[in-house]
Amino acid sequence: MLLDISTLYAMVALCSVVAGIVHLAAAVGGRFGSWANWWGGGHILLGLSAVMPLARGMGIPMLVPVGNTVAVLSYTGIYIGMRRFADPRADIGVWIAVAAVLAVPMLLWSDPAGMGGRIAYLNVVRSMFDVATVVVAIRIAKRESLRTGWIVAVMFALTVPMFIGRAWLALTGHIGTNPTGLQGGPAAWLAAGAVAFIMFRGFSLLTMDAERGERRLEMLAERDALTGAGNRTAFERARGGWRGDGAVLMIDLNRFKALNDRHGHAVGDAALCIATRAAVASVPMTGRVFRWGGDEFVCVLPGTGAREAAAIAKGIAGKFAEGTGALLGTGMAATLSIGWTLGPLADVEALIADADERMYADKQRGRATDAQRSVAETAPLTYLISQSQHG
């Protein structure tokens, strides 16, 4: 069966140019970052390089070397677009230099007898950039939990053996001197396979950006706007994944109203953020911190026993006292009351209620033994933790 390679080139050119224009137009409108300029520009260059073989019979001077050079630059632009998508501040100077080095041989290599070598060279360059793109896509998929990142990685990975195969066939003389027209054999089918993926992956970063935006919206919906701790929505989503026994901590800032009245709401907000950071820094990676409302926080710690829970509670209280001491000045550290309990996380609401009772009992003990003290006074305060933490 023969394939019309000319039509394949035309399809690649059309799809690549359209993808490039879409990305550049969105970038001009401020919808995307700099990655869209590189990705879109690279695809427009790819489309132009795909048109070049169709114009070989027109006798245009320097058509072959210019077309091959544009092809190298297109692969570089697409890869830089992926790097900038992963990190808008990524250094691209090295890759621009690599592109220049790789493009120079193509600009100087126009001997008709060397066509097989040029085809092999271009396909090796393609495969190198596709491998590099796969690495970046996998990194994004892992770091941001993007399913589309894995799809993009697969789409670029599948073309690597196709390009390598065409390079081998070109070096062994299995690709003729006319790269267009009706052709058959392995070289034509490898070209068709590569074209299929190239056409579809031109819009792949749009799908990744859409999922990234969705993830960010989900994160915003599940995060307390002030502290960054999880909110009730995040709690409800997370509870389905908790199994077995664990610990629940209920945390409350002591004399928070007095702190706000004396120092202002900006300082009160800062204290809430310090409490969040203290909790996040103290709980294990498997634990979660939620702002329960006002100046109360809940920590859910799967697989945590009594000794660990006590140490975590003490660590939170200590870090909070240290942080608020630095905020308010020497001898003015704010304090926490913390109650914790153990049990099956399937009954997490009962555990929260129990921890809440212990926390309030702890708070009452603190008021009884230190009734004259206030976070608004200059006298130093000792932080409070639940009596249950002392055994």
Q: Do 84 and 118 fall into the same domain?
A: yes
Q: Do 34 and 150 fall into the same domain?
A: yes
- 341 to 277, 317, 346, 351, 356: CA distances (angstroms): 22, 16, 14, 6, 9
Please tell me the predicted confidence (pLDDT) of residue 240.
86
- The whole-chain average pLDDT of the chain stands at 86
Please tell me the predicted confidence (pLDDT) of residue 334.
85
Please state the separation of Cα 256 from the chain's center in Å.
Answer: 37
| Tokens found for residue 195 | 């074209």
Q: Do 204 and 255 fall into the same domain?
A: no
In a domain, 213, yes or no: yes
Please tell me the predicted confidence (pLDDT) of residue 130.
96
Q: Do 123 and 42 fall into the same domain?
A: yes
Please tell me the predicted confidence (pLDDT) of residue 383.
34
Please tell me the predicted confidence (pLDDT) of residue 367.
63
Please tell me the predicted confidence (pLDDT) of residue 31.
78
Please tell me the predicted confidence (pLDDT) of residue 57.
67
Please tell me the predicted confidence (pLDDT) of residue 391.
30
| Tokens found for residue 365 | 């003990």
Domain end (from 219, 243, 260): 219
Domain end (from 219, 245, 273): 219
Domain end (from 219, 244, 273): 219
Q: Do 215 and 273 fall into the same domain?
A: no
> Helix count (H) and strand count (E) of the chain?
13, 6
First vs last Cα of the chain: how many Å apart?
A: 81
Q: Which helix (H) or strand (E) holds 391?
A: none
Please tell me the predicted confidence (pLDDT) of residue 388.
34
Q: In what order do the strands lie in the sheet with 296-302?
A: 288-293, 296-302, 245-253, 336-344
Q: Do 153 and 25 fall into the same domain?
A: yes
Q: Which residues of the chain have pLDDT under 50?
A: 371-391
Please tell me the predicted confidence (pLDDT) of residue 178.
67
Q: Do 86 and 157 fall into the same domain?
A: yes
Cβ pair 224, 275 in contact under 8 A = no
CATH code of the domain covering residue 191: 1.20.1070
Please tell me the predicted confidence (pLDDT) of residue 386.
38
Please tell me the predicted confidence (pLDDT) of residue 4.
79
In a domain, 308, yes or no: yes
In a domain, 247, yes or no: yes
* Beta-bridge partner residues of 296: 252, 293
Domain that holds residue 156: 3-219
Q: Which helix (H) or strand (E) holds 52?
A: none
Q: How many domains does the chain have?
A: 2
**How far is the C-alpha of 271 from the C-alpha of 275, rounded, in Å?**
6
